[in-house]
Amino acid sequence: MDKSQVKWIYISVGFSLVVLVIILALTINENTVTYLQEINPVFLLLAFLTHVLTMVFWAMRVKLMSGSLGYRIGFWYSLNLVFANLLASAITPAQAGGEPVRIHELYKADVPLGDATAIVIMERVLDGIALAGLAAFSMIVLTDQWKSLGAVSEAMVFVTWIFVVGCLFLFYLAIRRPDVVKQVVRRCTVWLTRKWESGRVEALVTRADKEIDNFQGATIRFVRTAKGGLAWGMVFTLLYWVSEIITASLILVGLGQPPLILESFVIQLILAILMMMPLTPGSSGIAEVGATSMYALFIPASIVGIFVVIWRIVLYYFNIALGILSSIIIVRREARRCEEEQGKST
């Protein structure tokens, strides 16, 4: 882990902790102790296990989508890949740092860069479609719950649909008009490498063009000949999000509160959409304030702060711990690989 990563962990975690302390200071009162006496640790443990299950669903998505393109990626490798992605996601806006990590790890598993990029981008597209579909479904079925949250819920769904349409448009360009994508990449590359030697810049542009072609080919294979990968990808995407949403209800039960399954389903959808926006590193502060303001409508103020703290521990701080553990595993793996290569060369 380099110094820049450590710096961003401090910034992201520090901002989150400050917001959580403020929330606790505003919500804890004489009734909080009474509510804490009703804690059921079994359900809190189930919340952690359910969150781990979401990571398993994600790993299966990576494994099966890669397999549909002809690449054999082991389950444990995929799971470690997902864990590694969690650390970068936790310290970058819109969790965007996770994508390069997943692409890098797929590349290390002998998946060409273009195909790895296609898999990861397709994951994002599936996430957007799943969130938009779940939001549309819940708006139709859970009308009362949406109304109880006010206009903010409708705004979040509108933003989600814009996100999905944007992803699909970029997806279309990558498949049907790769020449446009190449022109944009070429111009950006030339602008970003103004001080480089011309030969070096041209080599980089050539490689980018090659990977765009690879990406186009892999994407076309997904749509035409690897539809099974897309189908399984969508199945595990839905399982991932439903499992992630249920985690909040398990925490509520663990705190002696009603599960609020329907209300929590709507709130967690809104928070998932909100956290995909590039506002703060790891959505620190945004997630805490959003969860507090919406759950305060349904559970006592005396316990809402405790709920938000535990919710962030499960879905955020636990992710960082898993990411650090995975990073250590990857560093050791690369060290062994270097030793083996040096041994072969001598």
Question: Which position has the token pair 């509160």?
Answer: 257
231 and 68 Cβ atoms separated by less than 8 Å: no
Residue 268 falls within a domain, yes or no?
yes
Residue 344 falls within a domain, yes or no?
no
Provide the pLDDT for residue 50.
95
Separation of alpha carbons 104 and 214, rounded Å: 16
Question: Which position has the token pair 């490689």?
Answer: 207
Provide the pLDDT for residue 29.
85
The terminus-to-terminus CA distance of the chain in angstroms comes to: 29
Provide the pLDDT for residue 235.
94
Provide the pLDDT for residue 118.
82
**Domain count within the chain:** 1
Separation of alpha carbons 11 and 18, rounded Å: 11
Residue 346 falls within a domain, yes or no?
no
b/e per residue, 249-276, with b = 16+ CB within 10 A? bbbbbbbebeebeebbbbbbbbbbbbbb
215 and 118 Cβ atoms separated by less than 8 Å: yes
Provide the pLDDT for residue 76.
94
Residue 38 falls within a domain, yes or no?
yes
Low-confidence residues of the chain: pLDDT under 50: none
Separation of alpha carbons 175 and 226, rounded Å: 15
Question: Which position has the token pair 């859970």?
Answer: 142
Provide the pLDDT for residue 51.
94
Query: Domain range for residue 83?
Result: 3-336
Residue 204 falls within a domain, yes or no?
yes
pLDDT per residue as tens digits for the range 303-328: 999 999 999 999 999 999 998 899 88
Provide the pLDDT for residue 261.
84
Handedness of CA 305, 309, 312, 314 (dihedral sign): negative
Residue 89 falls within a domain, yes or no?
yes
Provide the pLDDT for residue 164.
61
Provide the pLDDT for residue 141.
72
DSSP-derived letter for residue 284 is T
Residue 44 falls within a domain, yes or no?
yes
Residue 15 falls within a domain, yes or no?
yes
